[in-house]
Amino acid sequence: MTDAVGERRPARELEASVLAALCAADQPQSAADVRAAIPQELARTTVATLLARLHEKGAVGRSPGRRGFLYFALEDSHGLTAQRMHRELDQDDDRSTVLARFVEGLSAADEAELKRLLDGGGR
């Protein structure tokens, strides 16, 4: 998993590309289909591994295809980030302190956006 100059790309960057390709598709995609749709030059096996990991995380669903699985998006990259945030929060016994420290670290704009969302001004 290296780019043209031999540097590793972060897994999240690759996962985001795969999710974007699945979200843009109008039907379930094979690993080969996803590979053709993403900008990175990756081996089909690398794309298959990324898809399997995204499936384990609950971000993509899959169904049997003629040769392997066909994948479809269940979550976009924002949903995947939200899932990670929930997992982190679930790992601590003192949710109130974790949430308080999270809010303390927010910028004024993020704090205002969070207040707006909590007041029912959702997306």
pTM score of the predicted model: 0.65
- Which pLDDT band holds residue 9 (cuts at 50, 70, 90)? low
Give the Cα separation of 66 and 12 in Å (integer): 29
Please name the residue that has the structure tokens 């601590």. 92
Spatial contact of 51 and 31, defined as CB atoms under 8 Å apart: yes
pLDDT on residue 84: 81
Decide if pLDDT at 2 tops 50: no
Convert the pLDDT of each residue in 39-63 to its tens digit: 999 998 999 999 999 999 888 999 9
Q: Dihedral angle at the C-alpha atoms of 99, 104, 110, 113, nearest 10 degrees?
A: 60
DSSP string of 11-69, one letter each residue? HHHHHHHHHHHHHH-SS-B-HHHHHHHSSS---HHHHHHHHHHHHHTTSEEEEEETTEE
